[in-house]
Amino acid sequence: MASILFVLNGPNLNALGKREPGIYGGQTLADIEALCRAEGEKLGFAVDFRQSNHEGDLVDWIHEAGDVAAGVAINAGAYTHTSIALHDAIRAVKTPVVELHLSNVHAREDFRH
Ligand code: DQA
C-alpha cells in the first residue's frame, strides 16, 4: 500500500485555538497539521490532512483512504458519538483506522463515553 497516512478531522476542529481552550488547548488545527506532517516525514509517510464539518465528507474520505492510504487517524469530533455511517465506513475498509481525541472523553459527559 502507498505510504500515505490520512489524518481526518471532524466538526468544529477547524475552530481549535479559540474553541474552549480550557478543554482543547491553545493550538490551532494548522499547528496540529504541522506536527503530523513533521512526524509523518520522520516515519517516511506523506500525511494527507483534512477537516470537514460534514459527516458525508468524512465517510467519502474513509472510502478513499481504503483505496490509497496505509492508515487513517481520525478525530471525528462529535460524530464519534452519533455516527453509524462513520462506524460502517470504517468497517467497510481494510485500511487500519485509529480513533483519537484531544480530550479524555471518558472523563467528560456520559454522552461522550
Ligand atoms: C473531541 C471530543 C468530542 O466529544 C467532541 O465532540 C469534539 C472533540 C476531542 O478531540 O476531544 O468535538 O473529539
The pTM of this model reads: 0.96
- Ligand 1: residues with CB < 6 A are 12, 75, 77-78, 80, 101-103, 105, 112
38-50: per-residue pLDDT in tens? 999 999 999 999 9
For residue 17, the enclosing domain spans 4-112
Q: Is 106 known to be catalytic?
A: no
Q: Is 113 helix (H, G, I), strand (E, B) or coil?
A: coil
The number of distinct structural domains making up the chain is 1
Catalytic position from the list 81, 101, 106, 113? 101
Which CATH number belongs to the domain containing residue 43 in this structure? Answer: 3.40.50.9100
Nearest 5°: CA angle at 102, between 12 and 59? 55
Taking only the tens place, the pLDDT of each residue in 53-104 is 999 999 999 999 999 999 999 999 999 999 999 999 999 999 999 999 999 9
The x, y and z cell numbers of residue 35, run together, are 506536527
